[in-house]
Structure 1
Amino acid sequence: MPISIQDVAKKANVSISTVSRVLNRRNIVNEETRKRVESAINDLGYSPNVFARGLMLRRSHILGLVLPDLHGEFYSEIIRGANLRARELGYKLMISSAVAKDDGSELMAAVADHGMVDGLVVMISEITSRIRETLRKATVPLVILDGDVDGVKHDSVVIDQRTGTIAMLRHLLRRRDLRRIVFVGGPVTNIDSMERLNAYHEVTAEFGIEVGPDDVHHLDYQYDTAFDLAAANVGEWARRGAAVFAANDEMAAGVIDAALAAQLAVPADLPVVGFDDTRVASMTRPRLTTVRVPMSEMGAAAIDLLCQRFDNVEQPPTKLVLQSKLIVRDSCGS
């Protein structure tokens, strides 16, 4: 027969309610009793019925994480940080993506409104009225990654992308004689891409660098599309004394490879910088100058905020800002 909570209580010589308090990590059990109960659980090999506990406590001990995509190191690092912290705090993590064609609102409505998760961490690349309405109606605590949603009660973890972008472009312009910087960004409505583009405009204006209509390109954060764009333009970029600022490392790698394929030297003929500091940045040749984003820390911090919200539902919304950092390597020539 399966080991029951009654068996654990008998072996530990405590009540069933005491075992329940230990299982649910309540601090009202003294240290000696907690150790005795945990020893009995380990000796008997007891595994609590998660669903039964959830029904009794009206808690599933499952947290939801919804991301724009699950592909690539940027998202995998967020998942890694969130998963490790959730496990440390006694929760399981349910992960999915918000599908671009339906904007993910059906998924978020399902996990938020049907008791599947105790709380939800959401990263949204584009805020639509449909997404905003879905989040507004959510009945569980919410943490928004990398943005804010007007009219929705939530905590948030955001990256200070502006500071890192400005530091990188100033570093580049103070050390190289550049007449032009080409921006290769993500989709035109993407929140991250817009923030990086705004900082780009701020620094180019500061240094008197003119930005023409052919200097800003909106792609999809993918290597292939950046390679194709650069393959058609690197010769002209190099002739005009330009550098390329790609809004993520993967696109920067595509630009570098296209330049090398055209027999241009990076950074001598064409300086290239990226963003995120994923492993790609250290794998390119030359190694990529970029801006480090604390991806894993972002995931862990979101779980912390969510669990803090469980303990204090009425506290004011918390916005945690994580810093980005300039990482200088070889691709910028400075």
Structure 2
Amino acid sequence: MPVSIQDVADRANVSISTVSRVLNRRNIVNDVTRKRVESAIEELGYRPNVFARGLMLRRSHILGLVLPDLHGEFYSEIIRGANARARELGYKLMISSVAADDDGSELMATVADQALVDGVAVMVSEVNARTRATLSTVKVPLVVLDGEVQGVRHDSVVIDQRLGAVALIEHLIRDCGARRLVFVGGLPTNFDTIERLAALQQVAADADVKIDPGNVYHLDYQYDTAFELGQKRVKEWSRRRFSVFAANDEMAAGIIDAAIDAGISVPDELPVVGFDDTRIAAMTRPRLTTVSVPMSSMGAAAVDLLCQRLEDPSRPATKLTLQSELVVRESCGVNSQT
């Protein structure tokens, strides 16, 4: 027979209500009793029914995580960090994605209005009126990742991308001698693209390096589309002594592979840098100079904020800022341009 909460109470010599308080992490149980109950749970292998607990507490003990995409290491690292922290705190994680052309209203209605989750963390790649309207309908604690939504009550976890991007571009210009720059980003309305392009324009202007609008390309953060662009452009970029700043590592890898296929040496004839420091950055040849982004920490921090909001619904809105950091490898060389 399955182990029951009564079995745990009998083993620990406490009441069922005391076991329940320990399971629900209430601080009104003294440490000695708590340890005795936890030992009984471990010895008996008790696994509480989260749905039964949810009926009593009006909680499901499930948190939602909604991302623009579930493919690629950037998102998988966010999921890994969120899932690990959720498990530590006694929660399950429900994961879904919302396509770029979907405002997510149906998904939000399903997971929030029907009380499937106690709180939800959402990464929005861009904010428009539809997105804002959708998020304003969420009736459970909400954490927005990598951005903020005006007029909607939420906590947020953001990354100081500007800091890392500025360091990357300064390295490209100052240490690698770049004087002509190409930017390959996502859609022009994408949060990350806006931040990374703004950093490029700021540093380039300070260094008197011109960026021609015709050398700003808006793709979809995918390897394949960057590779296709590279097939069309790398010979011209190399001939004109350009350096390429790709707004993520996957697109940078696509450009590098297109250059290699065209017989162009990276970095000697075409310096390339990326962003995010995913595993692909260490797998390209040459290895990719990029910016490290704490993706796993972002996922964990989102879960922390949701749980804190559940414990104290009236607390002030919190914004956590995580730092990015330049990682220098071989793909842009040093003084490779004159």
Please indicate the TM-score interval, normalised by the length of the shorter structure: over 0.9
State the AA in 2 paired with 1:239.
Answer: R
1:223 matches 2:223: yes
Partner of 2:298: 298
Distance 2:8 2:291 in 1: 52
1:76 aligned partner: 76
Q: Match for residue 20 of structure 1?
A: 20
Distance 2:2 2:90 in 1: 22
Cα distance in 1, alignment partners of residues 42 and 82 from structure 2: 26
Q: Secondary structure at the match of 2:276?
A: coil
TM-score (normalised: structure 2): 0.96
Q: 3-state DSSP class of the match of 2:278?
A: coil
Which deviations, in whole Å up to 9, do the C-alpha atoms of 1:62-111 show, x marking residues without a partner? 11100000000000000011111111111111111113342322112211
1:62 is the counterpart of 2:62: yes
Partner residue, 1:327? 327
Please tell me the residue identity of whatever aligns with 1:333. Answer: G
* Identical-pair percentage: 70
Report the alpha carbon displacement of residue 34 of structure 1 after superposing the two structures with TM: 1.8
Q: Which residue of 2 aligns with 1:249?
A: 249
Whole-angstrom distance in 2 between the partners of 1:247 and 1:105: 29
Compute the RMSD of aligned alpha carbons.
1.3
The alpha carbon displacement at 1:36 in A equals 2.2
Counterpart code for 1:15: S
Tell me, yes or no, if structure 1 residue 109 matches structure 2 residue 109.
yes
Separation (CA, whole Å) in 2 of partners of 1:45 and 1:164: 46
Q: 1:130 Cα deviation (Å)?
A: 1.9
Q: Tell me by how many angstroms 1:260 deviates.
A: 1.0
1:201 CA drift (Å): 1.0
Provide the residue aligned with 1:34 in structure 2: 34
Partner of 2:97: 97
Displacement of 1:43 after TM fit?
3.5
Contact 1:274 1:290 in 2 (8 A): yes
Aligned partners of 2:37, 2:278: CA distance in 1, in Å? 43
2:169 corresponds in structure 1 to 169
Structure 2 distance, partners of 1:325, 1:55, is: 45
The correspondence of residues 180-219 of structure 1 with structure 2, limited to 5 A, is 180-219=180-219
CA contact (8 A) 1:119 1:142 kept: yes
The 1-side partners of 2:161 and 2:241 are apart by 26
Task: Give the SS at the match of 1:214.
Answer: helix
Report the equivalent of 1:283: 283
The more displaced of 89-98 and 304-313 is: 304-313
Check the 8 A contact 1:65/1:120 in 2, yes or no: yes
Question: How far apart, in 1, do the equivalents of 2:67 and 2:87 lie?
Answer: 19
Aligned-pair distance for 1:207?
1.4
Indicate conservation of the 8 Å contact 1:179/1:240, yes or no.
Answer: no
Question: Structure 1, unaligned stretches of length 5 or more?
Answer: none
Residue 137 of structure 1: how far off its partner (Å): 1.7
Shift of 1:114: 1.3
| Alpha carbons 1:271, 1:332 under 8 Å: kept | yes
Alignment of 1:121-160 (within 5 A): 121-160=121-160
Paired residues of 1:178 and 1:242 also in contact (CA < 8 A): yes
Q: Does the CA contact (< 8 Å) of 1:98 and 1:105 recur in 2?
A: no
- Answer yes or no: is the 8 Å Cα contact 2:145–2:156 preserved in 1: yes
Amino acid paired to 1:326: L
Q: Deviation string for 1:146-168 (max 9, x for gaps)?
A: 00001000110101111111111
Count of residue pairs brought into register by the alignment: 334
Distance 2:187 2:235 in 1: 24
How far did 1:11 drift? 2.8
Return the alpha-carbon distance in structure 2 between the equivalents of residues 332 and 45 of structure 1.
Answer: 54
Higher mean C-alpha displacement, 281-290 vs 103-112: 103-112
Query: Which secondary structure state, in structure 2, belongs to the residue aligned with residue 183 of structure 1?
Result: strand
CA distance in 1, matches of 2:160, 2:39: 45
Deviates more, 1:293-302 or 1:104-113: 104-113
Q: Which moves more between the two structures, 219-228 or 96-105?
A: 96-105
Structure 1 stretches of 4+ with a deviation exceeding 4 A read: none
